[in-house]
Amino acid sequence: MTYLSILTLILGFLLASYGVPIARTAALKYGIVDAPDGRLKHQREPVPYFGGLAIYLAFLMSLAFTFEFRHDVLGIILGGTIVVMLGLIDDFGVLTPWTKLAGQLLAVFVLIKSGIRIEIAAFPEWLDLILTVFWMVGLINAFNLLDIMDGLSAGVGAVSAMFLLIVAVLQNDQTMVFMLAALIGSLVGFLRYNWQPARIYMGDTGAMFIGLLLGAMTMIEKYPSAHPFSLLTPVFILGIPIFDTLFVMYVRYQRGLPIFWGSPDHIAIRLRHWGMSVPQVVIASYAATACVAGIGLLVMSANEQVAMGLCLGTAAVLLAATAVLKRLDVRRPDHAPGKPEEERTAA
Measure the CA–CA gap between 67 and 341, rounded to whole angstroms.
Answer: 39
Measure the CA–CA gap between 62 and 8, rounded to whole angstroms.
Answer: 6
SS3 (DSSP) at 77 = helix
Neighbour count for residue 146 (Cβ, 10 Å): 28
Closest by CA to 219, choosing from 108, 110, 142, 119, is: 119
SS3 (DSSP) at 48 = strand
Measure the CA–CA gap between 185 and 17, rounded to whole angstroms.
Answer: 10
Within 13 Å of residue 112, how many CA atoms lie on the same side as its CB? 20
Residues making up the chain, counted from first to last: 347
Question: Across-strand partners of 33?
Answer: 48
CB-CB contact of 16 with 55 (8 Å): yes
SS3 (DSSP) at 53 = helix
CB-CB contact of 163 with 296 (8 Å): yes
Closest by CA to 177, choosing from 60, 4, 299, is: 4
**What are the φ/ψ torsions at residue 329 (nearest 5 degrees)?**
-85, 120
Amino acid letter, residue 21: P
Separation of CA 297 from chain center: 19
User: Does the annotation flag 91 for ligand binding?
Assistant: no
- DSSP assigned state of 117: S
User: Does the annotation flag 244 for ligand binding?
Assistant: no
Q: Which residues are annotated as a binding site for Mg(2+)?
A: 144, 204
Question: Binding site, residues?
Answer: 144, 204
